[in-house]
Structure 1
Amino acid sequence: MEFNSLEYVLLLVVASLLFFGAGYRARLLVLIAASLIFYAAWNVPLVSLIVISAIVDYSAGRLLERYEDDRQARRKLVLAVSLIVNLGLLGYFKYANFFLDNLHAAFDLGPGGDFLDIVLPPGISFYTFQTMSYTIDVYRKKIRPTSSFLRFFLYVSFFPQLIAGPIERAGHLLVQFDQAATRRFQVDNLVSGAQLIVFGMFKKVVIADHCGRLVDQVYANPGIYDGWSALIATYAFTLQIYCDFSAYSEIARGSARIFGVDLMRNFDQPYLTRNISEFWRRWHISLSNWFRDYVYIPLGGSKKGKSRTLINLTITMFLSGLWHGAAWTFVIWGLFHGLLLLLNVQVGQRVRERLPDNLAVRFGSWFLCFHLVAFGWILFRAKGMEQFVAVVRSIGHDLSQLFVGGPGPSEQQALFLLGVAGFLGVSAIERRYKLIDRIWASSIASVVFAASLIVAMMLLGLADGPQFIYFQF
């Protein structure tokens, strides 16, 4: 069930009406039922995986509480079982064919393929990491385990953020279910939630989907397009993946807000950052924080010397790349960002200290960071390394020819480049002056703005637009 579908709107409306018309326990059941319906619309049998994850980690939390004063060996065993089950399910459904394909190639056994007939469960990477964080936090004694299986199952399956996050922590989300289940309906929550949903829908169907159509056209057969077309497709994907994923996060936050639940902000204008570390603090924030807290810091972070920092960053970003997909392009994308992070820590900080803090330096830093990120998106979008090399070579050839009198972009391509610059410029102005917040705070301006967005969606939205990109993860 897509967010940008009438079925989802109907589910949200019915769930809201039933939720506010029910008592405490019934409200939790309404949200659980809505979550099961939402996920079952994708695949009914795969609902069992969410149930398994919930049972395993709920039981693990209860056992960790029981063994709180016992020897650490028992607690470590409980944690190990939880991690093995969760990572085992994730590994089988997402990486089994990838592993077998590479094993096949390593021993020169001929062409590989899909050895196992596996359907990738939607959102398995997200809800698996969410349940794992609960068990780890209970093991670390950062939170107390919940005694209610209903509340925990809702934490695992809450439909607004089930498929593509944000990846919430139990300490932030569980208590909100109790609060939401006892509160009266609040018009302010409905209004602010609807505002987030409308703006998210606009970014998805008007910006992301149109960019996606252009990207798909070029990447379907990049060999027949020139370097300028490949460059335009790269910028288009840069906009698409941001508008697509941030749109999902905003629709998720808006949907949850209606029920009185506040999900964390997952994006904070990441394309306006001037170094790669800041980019990762503002891109997919919930996942970045997850890898920081459960992988990078436990490995030692940056506190054990330069060599260990290099190893820790490499491991963390390798896993981050692999989390995104079972393909070497994702792995190399993660390692590429790991290298950028290392260079930023070891070299970037010293360079910035020696440069003057003026407009030219700030613009140059931003320009470099933005284009390093955009270059990485070629890896992310390419179907394989061969396609990645072809796209990069094509772009490099045409850009180099420009300096010796070669052809520049066409009129349409130049207009698109101007549009990208306009998008980034408007984003910078909006962040500086908080324009969206000011518009939503005004009753008249908010109505006009929302109506304009809805009209734009009706006129410009694609009837057959692609699904959200992160649904595949």
Structure 2
Amino acid sequence: MLFNSFTFLFLFLPVTAIGYFLLARRSHVQAAGWLALASLTFYGWWSYYYIPLLLGSIVFNYWMGQRIGHAAGPARKRWLTAAVATDLGLLAYYKYADFFISGANWLAHADIPLLHVVLPIGISFFTFTQIAYLVDTYQGKVKEARFLHYVLFITYFPHLIAGPVLHHAEMMPQFDKPASYRFSFQNVAVGLSIFAIGLAKKVLIADNLAPHANFLFDKADIFSLANAWGGVLAYAFQLYFDFSGYSDMAIGISLMFGIRLPLNFDSPYKAANIVDFWRRWHMTLSRFLRDYLYVPLGGNRKGPVRRYVNLLATMLLGGLWHGAGMNFVIWGALHGIYLVINHGWNAVADRLRLPRGRAWAVFSWALTFAAVCVAWVFFRATSFDKAMTILHGMAGLDGIGLPASIGQQLGPLKALLEQWGVTFYLGGGSRFLETWQWVVIGGFIAFCLPNTQQIMGRYEAALGTMAGPRLAAGWQLWQPSRRWSFYIGAILLGSLLSLSRPAEFLYFQF
């Protein structure tokens, strides 16, 4: 079930909320049970065949968590190893079986038939969430372990399909607080406003950028400098507003139920360097990779060489987490290399005490954003050859081409541009203009306007379970007023009018 569908907005969400708060007057246990049942219904709307898989995973991991918690000595580690191996084995079967078979066929020149296993939606998210719970149980960090709260922690519908990746310590205690079961007009107002902003990001921005990104990666036969960069930027902003919008909607929906989810985005395209980018992009996944992979590998505690190896390994596995394909491996490897270069450069710059003024800050931001866009090409491209073709165009090696219809409007400037090496090709004028119009709109919003948590920054509940951001300017700060009621109402109306054919979120495939 999609957040951006009429079924969810006008049936599932109100019925779930009304039932939750009515039952909460009688029993918090009944209310939590209702919410867990509604979450399973939400998941089963896609395919009820996979509800037993989800429930089986929950029961198995909870039981293993109990065994880990009560064991001592070497047995404790054996229980953890068995549980994590089972979780990863299940994930490997559903997500990576065909990937491994294809690799084996290529290496051994064999012809093993592919399994074509259907990927259960959200399996990466609920598997990683439970692995973190098991590790924390092993380390003695789990304080709240009631089965109903654990079920709700895993199945909680605002995050179940595409995150954020939750931590038990920031969620399960909330299910035990009486305040989480009390209806609050402020929570509804703030939550609905955050949801509206997220819905607009998805429906009004990301979905309008999608055709232009898809055209470059799936249909285009001209890869001039302007065409290639236009399509790649369209995808970069589509992905940002699609996933950022989903995260906003998840936080907003959850807040209506009195539950705070962690932030997942903090204007990542404004990042000053690639390290800063990963502090801002998919923040909960970055946290998971740091705490449960990079640090256990040794982090930065065993010298610079080991640190760089750990960074590369972490990002390679982070790439594979997104999908079973060499494109994701290359994307992860690129970000690992970026991080190694960034940390190496910082070490040299600190040693030499190199000045870093405003000009350097602008250059560093531009280089970071360009590097991220280059990596997105492999993330999105359907093949390695297609990715290299697009990168070839982005480098200007296919010329600086513009549609002939645009050249006709330039007058004497056209001849001057031709002297500089610009060529004009037939067709594609309207597509070219629309692509760059939407790229400019997406870029202006991403770079120049405050993000959601800055707009909602007066209200602590809107900031999730992570540190709060800088506030937006006074007139941009949300407040319960007629003016903001009009703004949010207009955003909702515009989004609802665009929901005739709701599109899936990009991160559903991961």
Class of the TM-score when normalised by the shorter of the 2 chains: over 0.9
Name the structure 2 match of 1:470. Answer: 507
Whether 1:60 aligns to 2:64 is yes
Determine the structure 2 residue equivalent to 1:440: 478
User: Which residue is equivalent to 2:379?
Assistant: 380
TM-score, normalised with respect to structure 1: 0.93
Kept in 2: contact 1:210–1:462 (CA 8 A): no
State how 1:217-232 maps to structure 2 within 5 Å: 217-232=215-230
Q: Which residue of 2 aligns with 1:391?
A: 390
Q: What are the equivalent positions in structure 2 for 1:108-123 lying under 5 Å apart? A: 108-109=109-110, 115-123=114-122
Tell me by how many angstroms 1:226 deviates: 3.8
For 2:492 and 2:180, the matched residues in 1 are separated by: 33
Q: Secondary structure at the match of 2:449?
A: helix
Structure-2 change in CA distance of 1:274 and 1:199 (3 Å): same
1:152 to partner: Cα distance: 0.8
Q: For each residue in 1:100-140, what CA deviation from the matched residue of structure 2 results, as whole angstroms up to 9, or x when unmatched?
A: 01111112235x77x11311000100010001111100101
Q: Which range is displaced more, 50-59 or 238-247?
A: 50-59
Instruction: Give yes or no for contact 2:4–2:502 (8 Å, CA) kept in 1.
Output: no
CA deviation map 1:164-209 (0-9, x unaligned): 1111111110011111576321111111111111111000001111
Matched, 1:82 2:83: yes
Residue-by-residue CA offset, 1:38-91 (whole Å, 9 max, x unaligned): 000011111112112211221122112222xx32x1101110121012111110
1:405 aligned partner: 421
CA distance in 2, matches of 1:372, 1:259: 39
Q: Do the aligned residues in 2 keep the contact of 1:269 with 1:282 (CA within 8 Å)? A: yes
Change (3 A) 1:412 1:34: closer
Deviates more, 1:39-48 or 1:215-224: 215-224
> What CA distance in whole angstroms lies between the structure 1 residues aligned with 2:213 and 2:184?
42
For the residue of structure 2 that corresponds to 1:441, the secondary structure is coil
> What amino acid sits opposite 2:193 in the alignment?
Q
Q: CA deviation at 1:240?
A: 0.7
> Is the CA contact 2:36–2:156 (under 8 Å) kept in the aligned structure 1?
yes
Q: 1:330 to 1:343 in 2, by over 3 A?
A: same
The verdict on how the C-alpha distance between 1:194 and 1:420 changes in structure 2, with shifts beyond 3 A counting, is closer
Unaligned runs of 5+ in 2: 402-416, 455-469
% same residue? 33
**Which residue of 2 is the match for residue 426 of structure 1?**
448
In structure 1, the gaps of 5 or more residues are none
Q: What secondary structure is seen at the aligned counterpart in 2 of 1:319?
A: helix
Q: Equivalent residue for 2:406? A: none
Aligned Cα root-mean-square deviation (Å): 2.3
Can you list the C-alpha shifts for 1:270-316, whole angstroms capped at 9, x where unaligned? 11011000100111010000010000001110111122112111110
Q: Report the counterpart of residue 253 of structure 1 in structure 2.
A: 251
Which of 154, 157, 163 is the aligned partner of 2:155? 157
Q: SS at the partner of 1:397?
A: coil
Give the structure 1 partner of residue 20 of structure 2: 19
Once the two structures are superposed, what CA deviation does each residue of 1:6-29 show, in whole Å capped at 9, x if it has no partner? Answer: 121221111110111112111011
What is the 5 A alignment of 1:166-181?
166-179=164-177
Change over 3 Å in CA distance of 1:49–1:184 after alignment to 2: same
Moved more, 94-103 or 447-456: 447-456
Q: Distance in 1 between matches of 2:208 and 2:31?
A: 39
Instruction: From 489, 493, 505, give the equivalent of 1:455.
Output: 493
For 1:143 and 1:241, how far apart are their aligned partners in 2?
Answer: 35
Query: What's the secondary structure of 2:252's corresponding residue?
Result: helix
With over 3 angstroms needed to count, the CA separation of the structure-2 counterparts of 1:298 and 1:233, relative to structure 1, is same
Residue 404 of structure 2 is matched in structure 1 by none
Matched residue type, 2:118: V
Q: 1:326 aligns with which of 324, 327, 337?
A: 324
1:452 and 1:62 mapped to 2: Cα distance? Answer: 50
Task: Check the 8 A contact 1:267/1:283 in 2, yes or no.
Answer: yes
Structure-2 separation of matches of 1:437 and 1:74: 59
Partner of 1:6 in structure 2?
6
Cα distance between partner residues in 1 of 2:474 and 2:165: 25
Structure 1 outlier segments of 4+, above 6 Å: none
Change (3 A) 1:234 1:84: same
Distance 1:180 1:11, change over 3 A: farther
465 and 227 in structure 1: CA distance in 2 versus 1, 3 angstrom threshold: farther
Q: 1:197, 1:250 within 8 Å by CA — same for their partners in 2?
A: yes
**303-312 vs 203-212, which deviates more?**
303-312
Contact 1:318 1:334 in 2 (8 A): yes
CA change 1:407–1:363 in 2 (3 A) is farther
1:206 aligned partner: 204
Q: Which letter does structure 1 place at the counterpart of 2:47? A: N
Q: Does the CA contact (< 8 Å) of 1:313 and 1:342 recur in 2?
A: yes
Q: Which residue of 1 aligns with 2:407?
A: none
Q: Match for residue 131 of structure 2?
A: 132
- The reply to whether residue 32 of structure 1 matches residue 70 of structure 2 is no
- Quote the Cα distance in structure 2 between the aligned partners of 1:184 and 1:420: 38
Q: TM-score, normalised by structure 2?
A: 0.86
* Offset at residue 407 of structure 1 (A): 4.0
In structure 2, relative to structure 1, the CA distance for the partners of 1:467 and 1:62 (3 Å cut) is: same
Asked whether the equivalents of residues 160 and 253 of structure 1 are also in contact (C-alpha less than 8 Å), the reply is yes
Separation (CA, whole Å) in 1 of partners of 2:284 and 2:82: 25
Contact 1:24 1:181 in 2 (8 A): no
The answer as to whether partners of 1:20 and 1:184 remain within 8 angstroms in 2 is yes
Q: Which residue of 2 aligns with 1:45?
A: 49
Q: Distance in 2 between matches of 1:179 and 1:246?
A: 28
User: Quick check: 2:129–2:167 contact (8 Å CA) kept in 1?
Assistant: yes
Contact 1:223 1:390 in 2 (8 A): no
Query: Does the CA contact (< 8 Å) of 2:209 and 2:435 recur in 1?
Result: no
